Amino acid sequence: MKRIFGLILGVAVAVSLFAFAFTYWQNYQEQNLLLDDLSRHSALLAESFKEAIEPNYSIKKNPALDKLLDKDAGKERLTGLVIYDVTGALVASSSTISKGAINFAAVAEAAIKGDTTVRQVSSVDGDKLFVLADPLHSDGAVTGALVVVQNANYLDAVAGEVWTTNLVRLFVQVLVFLIAIILLLRWLIFQPMKHILESIRQIRTGTISDELTKLKVYGFFHPIAVEIAKMSESLLNARQAASEEARLRLEKLDTPWTAERLKEFIKHNLKGRPIIVVSNREPYSHSKVDGEITYSVPSSGLVTALEPIMEACGGLWVAHGSGDADKEVVDSNDKVALPPDEPKYTLKRIWLSEKEVKGHYVGFSNEALWPLCHMVHTRPVFRKNDWLEYRKVNGKFAQSLLAEIKDMEQPIILVQDYHFALLPAMIKKSRPDAEVGIFWHIPWPGAEAFNICPWRKAIVEGMLGADVVGFHTQQYCNNFLDTARKEIESIVDIEQFSVTHDGHTSYIKPLPISVALTNVAAKKTQQKSLVLQEAGVKTKYVAVGVDRMDYTKGILERLRGLEFFFETHPSYQEELTFVQVAPLSRQSVEKYRQFAEEVRTEVERINEKFGTSAWTPIVLIDRNLTHEELDPLYQVADVCLVTPLNDGMNLVAKEYVAAQDDESGVLVLSKFTGAARDLKDALIINPYSAEETSEAIYQALTMSQLEQRRRIKKMRESIKNKNIYRWAAELIRAVANLGSNEISL
């Protein structure tokens, strides 16, 4: 669209320049014609006066001459006449010419000296004057000069009129031209193209209608429309066949889960029941950049996991609106359709005050629960005010959710993560018919560790308002059951893995989350990483780490392992570059700011120790990278280091494996991640040991292609069989209480 308007503007500018040039030429011609006319008129006046002057002319001043010169002075454009003798001295002049303003001696002298008529345009006292000097003769000799002075101000007036007339004409012409072009573009191009683009969008999104197969667009685009209609009909048949195949797969155990199969599962089993996802982090954030609203995907494993599910099955996503332009894109109900380019679900944004964010998110969630659950040598901070804000925000979300589901029957609500531990019980209290699940995306510590939380009982009771409480691993389920047994009065059933409290039974499920295994189009040898190009990385080997700038991710321990590797294996200096992608996170928390500074200092120290003018051992990128940037980086990386000190799952490890469609590359993985239980063919290490990290890097770089292929292939098979779509189906099946006889997973 911008290019089209740019083209129209360019044509308008070209027409304007042509019109300006034409007007200049027209004005130039008009001025010359007027000057010629003025010159002829002045010459005629001079000849008529010379007939009366020359017979009586003498070098002495003569009052009769002054009277003669005053005869026609001031009429029409004639300003006056002046007579000079052969020496250039003034002899007589019209009274209309001020004596102080007479300054025509030079033109008179030129006429006398050359014995020829001399013409000149002069400016005197702000007036434009046309001056003609004609020599006077007596007995064949030049005796002086007669100067005719005419007012030429009208020349500027005529020029102004020419410019004004032409500019008005130009404006009208350009306006008519633009209106005509816009109307032509609208009716002949934009409307047909809009129709065609909508058709293509429907084809891409799978919302093909029967009307689309009868697409009628005439004019330039008729041949294209005919082909699109045929393609639409073919794809509509293919979609129907795929849907039928997905339905049949529901009964098979050995077929992989796909977005299409998940859609069919939801359609077949839920029969129109709505699905609502609740999280603190929103899937898209809108911001203003240089006055324009743009959007970005926040750096979050939760978003990475849930986005494909929402795109597959639609529904409503409720989250905190944190972007500075979020309010500008929502409707009157604070909702916006997403993804922006291809809407498939709805996001409802909840607005939180600065005080609420500080207490709920910064305070209790990230300074209390996060370190409490991860147990990585950072003491949790418990503040009463933070707890009150945490409870208040949970209530705020509950109120908004209850308003959304007031007219829904048996809605399915999937609460995500530790930010909303109290939400399930709040919802169940008002809507017992709602089927609620909460998935805890971080570790759950042992009962003894969790015992230090002053509000542990309220947190556990809030979570047990859900019908299903999900964790990544069986160990976290065991820890939670143990915590519930010790902290609240309840019945814990080890065989059913359930907790009954206040007459309500919650089932505790291990549901390891995953990613969608998609085929990345380009092979490693063909794909170029712009990230590496921008960083100037040209070494033989590349290792990567992708984490939020978080003290639980083991980044400092990883850097020490790399330092030990370069010391132990100096032959790899200038041969290996480690790229650490670590977008800044939770900078409002002091601990995170300190940690980011520690990482930067450590990177600088190691680079100073080993680096050369041509090689930087460690490249630190502290901005968020999109999947379009990360996938090529994963593909070219010989080694991926995922070394958290404690992590619920860690989807970066699975993303790296999923990107290796050429079945090469090596994953070095911390044993303290949930992913280590799924990806057993990674090189499993203790991240606290620099020696183990160093040895794993060396083993990865010296591993044969055959061994790499064997390991990656098995891990990709694991992700393929237990991908994000299967995780969603298992969670929904458990929450919606669909018996095992109703669906095979």
In whole angstroms, give the CA distance from residue 203 to residue 629: 27
- Could you give the CA distance from residue 647 to residue 565 in angstroms, rounded to a whole number? 24
Instruction: For residue 369, tell me if it sits in a domain.
Output: no
Query: Is residue 701 domain-resident?
Result: yes
pLDDT higher than threshold 70 for residue 459: yes
> Alpha-carbon distance 319 to 311, whole Å?
16
Asked whether residue 375 is assigned to any structural domain, the reply reads: no
Q: What is the CATH number of the domain that holds 636?
A: 3.40.50.2000
CB 550 within 8 A of CB 592: yes
Nearest to residue 524, comparing CAs of 666, 638, 619? Answer: 638
Handedness of CA 524, 526, 530, 533 (dihedral sign): positive
Greatest mean pLDDT among 31-35, 46-50, 266-270, 651-655 lies in 651-655
- The gap from C-alpha 570 to its chain's centroid, in whole angstroms, comes to 42
Q: Same domain, yes or no, for 344 and 459?
A: yes
State whether 612 and 480 are in the same domain: no
Same domain, 326 and 265: yes
What pLDDT score does 523 carry? 43
Answer with the one of 471, 486, 516 that is the final residue of a domain: 516
User: Mean pLDDT over residues 725-741, rounded?
Assistant: 82
Most confident range (mean pLDDT) of 70-74, 628-632, 680-684 is: 680-684
Same domain, 180 and 222: yes
pLDDT at 14: 77
Q: Do residues 200 and 55 share a domain?
A: no
Q: How many residues does the chain have?
A: 745
Mean of all residue pLDDT scores within the chain: 85
In whole angstroms, give the CA distance from residue 561 to residue 720: 31
Containing 385, the helix (H) or strand (E) segment is helix 384-404
Instruction: Give residue-wise pLDDT tens across range 20-50.
Output: 777 778 777 777 777 777 778 778 777 777 7
**Cα-Cα end-to-end distance for the chain:** 48
pLDDT value of residue 311: 83
Residue 533, pLDDT score: 86
Q: Identify the weakest region by mean pLDDT among 122-126, 471-475, 614-618.
A: 122-126
Task: Identify the pLDDT of residue 741.
Answer: 39
Is the pLDDT confidence value at 521 over 50? no
Partners of residue 505 on adjacent β-strands: 500
CB 409 within 8 A of CB 384: no
Whether 390 is in a domain gets the answer: no
Which position has the higher pLDDT, 426 or 141? Answer: 426
CATH code (residue 131)? 3.30.450.20
Q: Which of 45-49, 511-515, 599-603, 620-624 comes out lowest in average pLDDT? A: 45-49
Per-residue burial over 280-319, b if 16 or more Cβ lie within 10 Å, else e, is: bbbbbbbeeeeeeeebebbbbbbbbbbbbbbbbbbbbbbb
Cα distance between residue 557 and residue 486, in whole Å: 35
Alpha-helix runs per DSSP H in 521-577: 530-535, 555-568
CA distances from 210 to 37, 344, 545 (A): 77, 20, 48
List, for residues 34-91, the tens digit of each pLDDT value.
777 777 877 877 777 777 677 665 555 666 666 666 666 666 677 788 888 887 787 7
What is residue 743's predicted lDDT score, i.e. its pLDDT?
45
Among 482, 516, 550, the domain-final residue is: 516
What's the rounded Cα separation, in Å, for the pair 641 and 580? 9
pLDDT in tens, 250-262: 555 457 888 888 8
634, 663 contact by CB (below 8 A): no
SS3 for 388-409, per residue?
HHHHHHHHHHHHHHHHHCCCCC
Residue 291's pLDDT is what? 83
Stretch among 248-262, 586-600, 613-627 having the lowest mean pLDDT: 248-262
Average pLDDT estimate for 183-194 = 71
Burial of 642 (0-12, 13-18, 19+ CB in 10 A): buried
Quick one: average pLDDT of 208-213?
A: 52
Residue 455, helix vs strand vs coil: coil
Q: Return phi, psi of residue 295, to 5°.
A: -130, 155
70 within a domain of the structure (yes/no): yes
Pair 541, 501: CB distance under 8 Å: no
Torsion of CA 728, 730, 732, 737, to 10 degrees: 180
pLDDT at 231: 67
Q: Kindly tell me the sign of the dihedral angle through the C-alpha atoms of 249, 251, 254, 257.
A: positive
Encode 37-92 in three state secondary structure.
HHHHHHHHHHHHHHHHHHHHCCCCCCHHHHHHHCCCCCCCCEEEEEEEECCCCEEE
* pLDDT-derived band at 153, boundaries 50, 70, 90: confident
Strands 639-642 and 618-621 turn out to be: unpaired
Distance between CA atoms of residues 186 and 55, nearest Å? 80
Domain count, the chain: 4
Average pLDDT rounded to a whole number, residues 397-424: 96
pLDDT band at 516 (very low <50, low <70, confident <90, very high): confident
What is the rounded (10 degree) CA torsion for 359, 362, 364, 365?
130
Q: The domain containing residue 226 runs over which residues?
A: 158-236
605 and 704 co-located in one domain? yes
613 to 274, 531, 577, 607: CA distances (angstroms):
59, 20, 14, 11
Which of 89, 120, 151 is at the close of a domain?
Answer: 151
* pLDDT above 70 coverage of the chain, percent: 84
Q: Give me Rg for the CA atoms of the chain.
A: 43
What are the φ and ψ backbone dihedral angles of 641, each rounded to 5 degrees? -100, 115
Asked whether the predicted pLDDT for residue 520 surpasses 50, the reply is no
Evaluate if residue 602 carries a pLDDT over 80. yes
Is residue 165 over pLDDT 70?
yes
**Bigger pLDDT: 467 or 106?**
467
Q: Which pLDDT belongs to residue 325?
A: 93
Per-residue model confidence as pLDDT tens digits over 345-368: 999 999 999 999 999 999 999 999
> Is 65 a member of any domain?
yes
Residue in 475, 376, 413, 442 with CA at minimum distance from that of residue 651? 442
Mean pLDDT along residues 100-123: 79
* Helices 423-430, 384-404: inter-axial angle, 10-degree rounding: 40
For the residues 243-268, what does the mean pLDDT come to? 70
Whether residue 6 lies inside any domain: the answer is yes
For residues 101 and 171, membership in a common domain is answered with no
Kindly report the three-state secondary structure assignment for every residue of 692-710: HHHHHHHHHHHCCHHHHHH
Q: Does one domain contain both 606 and 714?
A: yes
Same domain, 257 and 210: no
In this structure, are 138 and 186 located in the same domain?
A: no
Closest CA to 676 of 724, 637, 705, 643: 643
> How do beta strands 127-138 and 683-685 pair?
unpaired
Q: 230 φ, ψ to 5°? A: -65, -45
Q: Is the pLDDT of residue 202 over 90?
A: no
Q: Are 552 and 663 found together in one domain?
A: yes
744 located within any domain = no
Please indicate, yes or no, whether residues 428 and 552 belong to a single structural domain of this protein.
no
Rounded-to-integer distance, Cα 671 and Cα 675, Å = 8
